[in-house]
Structure 1
């Protein structure tokens, strides 16, 4: 199988993993899509992704990866807590989904070589998702910005929530900016991605994604500050533009950030704190404390948890929390130990973004876009496979004349 053909299959498998993590709940779409149909599409995408990854890696060649190994260990508390069926048969189904998801990552790890291949796959697929959001906004502005979500942008063709759209936009903006600074793409190509994504991010009014983008870029560009003149220039211009915006548009930015909420609602993180307090106050058995109550829909008392750490604690216990923390610590530690480079900067951006978003978004303990972001970071931090050393030709000693065979005539 040719290298180009294999690369296309790997990219397709990665795109199908992203499709699987888009979810099946969200805003009402222009054409009503039954949830069962959406689940069939997303789960079918995961099955096809695993099949494609297996087809191009029949010899099961994998790269050693602490990231995927820790995700594999995360299956243990997930299965233990889900086996008693306290959360219903759906918990076991989610365990099977997570196992297939992790298995696909193991198969694709063969192509994790510290290069930017998966960064480009990531940008292309999420840009396609955002294009569908933009198309829905053009076709039906009312459905794309409904009153139910306070006029924030949602997916009108596929049921996507404002935080999802904001997350996808922020991630590809950050990666595109870093590729531009590293001269791995031209200005026009970068602008085609960055400008529309910025517009969509602004329309979602997603504070977490915005803060994750800004802080992630500061950390990533800071890692290039001493070795890249382009990074230093960009940083200087960014500081200048931020100062001008703060002075000239301070009231507008504050209004956008508050989204019309009261100070009390804002300080309680839009009601999230009440759910968190109730979750922490709920009585738990020793088994539930250690292994959780089983994989669920990341909700408590019918309300979304919206915190990765508390969601993992609720569903996979303190064992799951320790494993997820180990994932962040290991990836972050490896990134800090790597010499300055563009792949390292991209990895730092993705790791820091996921760490920041984990405070108000769930997903680090189950198959989700956040695990795919971290998987891209793991691929960027992988050590390139050493090229096979050429076999040195051993010089032969000249054969004495007397030892040479003579032809008998």
Structure 2
């Protein structure tokens, strides 16, 4: 409370300042997540036409934009280098897609990407360095994992098909093992950090972490596991000097890691190899062959600079499974430069911020996306990875400065009382 202001006058001001973004903002964020779930994956228990899935995902994006515009009708935006660079990434996407080398679908994907970026711009109004979007992120992805767990209970055979080597897939909604592993790893890491920062209790954290880790183990997703471990090490390391809880957690994590390696080395190796031969493992599950063919493909100067247009992140009918090469293929060297720029900007801002829980969450998300970019595509188009980085950008945003409200009618009296008695006595005749 400002000195000299009445209590009854200060209370409404505090309430006005402490009110966070409306709950509908969380709904918009959830719709963006729904849009990025994709339409390709395993066979579901009840067959879902791909056209129906695409209608749901695209409809969710349109609805997210409409709701965001309704919440922000005056289009009040906050400056964001990350969203600005995403906007610039639209330029090579449109230039290359306009040549229709990848068909009319490339222009459709450009429109989707533009709507995605526009919705993020509208949401920047509520990017204040708080944890509001983190909680929405965890809730929505936990709901997605809930559908995966339900599919596993209803039909274990459909949820762990031989086509994917017995790895967990989405049996109710078509989700691949890497997708499930990614969602489980991200919300596990964020929940652990919230627990360390005392923003949630142990029981609530256990409800999220335990089933998420179980689903991650069933997917046998190495990239998500490494991203989770390395991301948490970097995030917790940023808190070691200022948080006793971080130091305790780090010490226990080291002890558990040593015990796991010494006592369960063979089991961990079997899980990590997934029954693959050493040669197949060293070729990154066959990805290296696709990468070599993509790099050896002759390209014109225009294709080198701007790519061939937004596609389905494949080359020769096979998935590229590398964000940098997929961006190079679809958006050229210009796109690669812009993707590197927004990762460097986010990382640089995170390093310059003072230690805090919000900074630690941002470091976890940035490091996870950087690690996953080597074996997963998604940094050049609307995807969960761009949403993870948008969440990091919201956590690194400068908090909104609240100015004191003007004094009420009683202000002159309050101001007079702040004048020392001896000064008032000297002014008297």
TM over 0.5: yes
Match of 2:356 among 317, 336, 341: 341
Alignment of 1:299-318 (within 5 A): 299-318=314-333
CA distance in structure 2 between the aligned counterparts of 1:380 and 1:369, rounded to whole angstroms: 17
2:321–2:376 CA contact under 8 A, matched in 1? yes
Q: State the partner residue of 1:177.
A: 192
Matched, 1:156 2:165: no
Q: State the partner residue of 1:290.
A: 305
CA distance in structure 1 between the aligned counterparts of 2:57 and 2:357, rounded to whole angstroms: 33
Match of 2:101 among 86, 100, 109: 86
C-alpha deviation, 1:390, in angstroms: 3.7
- CA displacement, residues 78-105 of structure 1 (integer Å, 9 cap, x when unaligned): 0000001110000000000000000000
Q: State the partner residue of 2:133.
A: 118
Matched, 1:205 2:220: yes
- CA displacement, residues 99-118 of structure 1 (integer Å, 9 cap, x when unaligned): 00000000011000000000
Match of 1:130 among 141, 145, 148: 145
Report the count of equivalent residues.
396
SS in 2 for 1:152: coil
Alignment of 1:8-407 (within 5 A): 8-391=23-406
CA distance in structure 2 between the aligned counterparts of 1:387 and 1:172, rounded to whole angstroms: 31
1:137–1:156 CA contact under 8 A, matched in 2? yes
C-alpha deviation, 1:391, in angstroms: 4.0
CA distance in structure 1 between the aligned counterparts of 2:156 and 2:101, rounded to whole angstroms: 42
C-alpha deviation, 1:8, in angstroms: 1.5
Q: State the partner residue of 2:421.
A: none
CA distance in structure 1 between the aligned counterparts of 2:209 and 2:357, rounded to whole angstroms: 18
CA distance in structure 1 between the aligned counterparts of 2:26 and 2:248, rounded to whole angstroms: 33
- CA displacement, residues 280-310 of structure 1 (integer Å, 9 cap, x when unaligned): 0000000000000000000000000000000
CA distance in structure 2 between the aligned counterparts of 1:148 and 1:241, rounded to whole angstroms: 34
* 1:386–1:233 Cα change, 3 Å: same
Query: What TM-score does the superposition give when structure 2 sets the normalisation length?
Result: 0.91
Q: State the partner residue of 1:399.
A: none
Q: State the partner residue of 2:427.
A: none
C-alpha deviation, 1:220, in angstroms: 0.1
CA distance in structure 2 between the aligned counterparts of 1:162 and 1:379, rounded to whole angstroms: 28
2:44–2:174 CA contact under 8 A, matched in 1? yes
Query: What TM-score does the superposition give when structure 1 sets the normalisation length?
Result: 0.95
4+ aligned runs moved over 3 Å, structure 1: 2-6, 389-396
CA distance in structure 1 between the aligned counterparts of 2:351 and 2:366, rounded to whole angstroms: 11
Structure 2 runs not aligned, ≥5 long: 1-15, 417-429
* 1:140–1:4 Cα change, 3 Å: farther
SS in 1 for 2:56: helix
CA distance in structure 1 between the aligned counterparts of 2:268 and 2:122, rounded to whole angstroms: 45
1:6–1:56 CA contact under 8 A, matched in 2? no
2:21–2:126 CA contact under 8 A, matched in 1? no
- CA displacement, residues 359-391 of structure 1 (integer Å, 9 cap, x when unaligned): 000000000000000000000000011113444
2:188–2:212 CA contact under 8 A, matched in 1? yes
Q: State the partner residue of 1:402.
A: none
CA distance in structure 1 between the aligned counterparts of 2:57 and 2:352, rounded to whole angstroms: 37
CA distance in structure 2 between the aligned counterparts of 1:139 and 1:30, rounded to whole angstroms: 9
* 1:114–1:4 Cα change, 3 Å: closer
1:85–1:91 CA contact under 8 A, matched in 2? yes
